């Protein structure tokens, strides 16, 4: 009950912050991350999609691109929920554009998960290699997790 109560209190506080500052991307991401951590990817998706709509309310997102962190988190949540692969691809392309085409190991993992979900084994293998090649030495302990996530389906 204690941890759940803490998360509920955090959700309530962040929701109140968003009432006062609806375009505050950091609060949107914290609320979505809290929901995702509790196994509620659909709740996280809802918060992120609404937050992105508010962020882009000035017109199109071309005028005010989706923040890279929000696009990454939303892609991860959709992958966790096994929903909307086309939306995931769009989000990952936004991440790529926001980083001038320079993807890090975490981006390659997300692409690999999308390829795996779609049954694209060549793309999966390419993403696995790229993720392992771009993994910084200080994150070496992530190597087995990357290999697990991006293992060829049998």
DSSP 109: H
Distance between CA 113 and CA 76 in Å, rounded?
9
The mean pLDDT of 107-129, rounded to a whole number, is 96
Contact 107, 133 (CB under 8 A): no
Most confident range (mean pLDDT) of 10-19, 56-65, 86-95 is 86-95
Query: Which carries the bigger pLDDT value, residue 92 or residue 153?
Result: 92
**Token pair belonging to 34:** 């809290």
At 141 the pLDDT is 93
Distance between CA 21 and CA 53 in Å, rounded?
14
Residue 102 phi, psi dihedral angles, 5° rounding: -95, 100
At 23 the pLDDT is 64
Q: 25: pLDDT confidence band, cut at 50, 70 and 90?
A: confident
The mean pLDDT of 96-116, rounded to a whole number, is 90
Residue 57 phi, psi dihedral angles, 5° rounding: -60, -15
At 4 the pLDDT is 59
At 32 the pLDDT is 86
The pLDDT mean for the chain works out to: 84
Torsion angle of C-alpha atoms 102, 59, 31, 72, degrees rounded to 10: -20
Distance between CA 36 and CA 43 in Å, rounded?
7
Model pLDDT for residues 31-50, shown as the tens digit of each residue: 888 888 888 889 889 888 88
At 5 the pLDDT is 62
Residue found by looking up tokens 């990817």 in the block = 41
Distance between CA 7 and CA 93 in Å, rounded?
32
Q: What percent of the chain has pLDDT over 90?
A: 45
Q: 7: pLDDT confidence band, cut at 50, 70 and 90?
A: low
């Amino acid at each position: 009950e204690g941890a759940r109560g803490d998360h509920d209190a955090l959700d309530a506080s962040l929701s109140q912050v968003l009432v006062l500052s609806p375009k505050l991307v950091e609060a949107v991401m914290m609320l979505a991350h809290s929901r995702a951590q509790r196994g509620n990817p659909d709740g996280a998706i809802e918060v992120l999609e609404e937050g992105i709509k508010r962020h882009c309310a000035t017109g199109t997102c071309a005028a005010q691109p989706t923040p890279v962190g929000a696009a990454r988190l939303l892609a991860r949540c959709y992958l966790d929920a096994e929903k909307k692969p086309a939306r995931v691809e769009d989000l990952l392309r936004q991440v790529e554009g926001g980083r001038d085409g320079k993807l890090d190991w975490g981006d390659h993992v997300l692409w690999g998960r999308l390829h795996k979900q779609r049954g694209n084994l060549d793309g999966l293998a390419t993403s696995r290699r790229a993720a392992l090649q771009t993994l910084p030495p200080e994150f070496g302990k992530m190597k087995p997790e990357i290999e697990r996530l991006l293992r060829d389906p049998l």
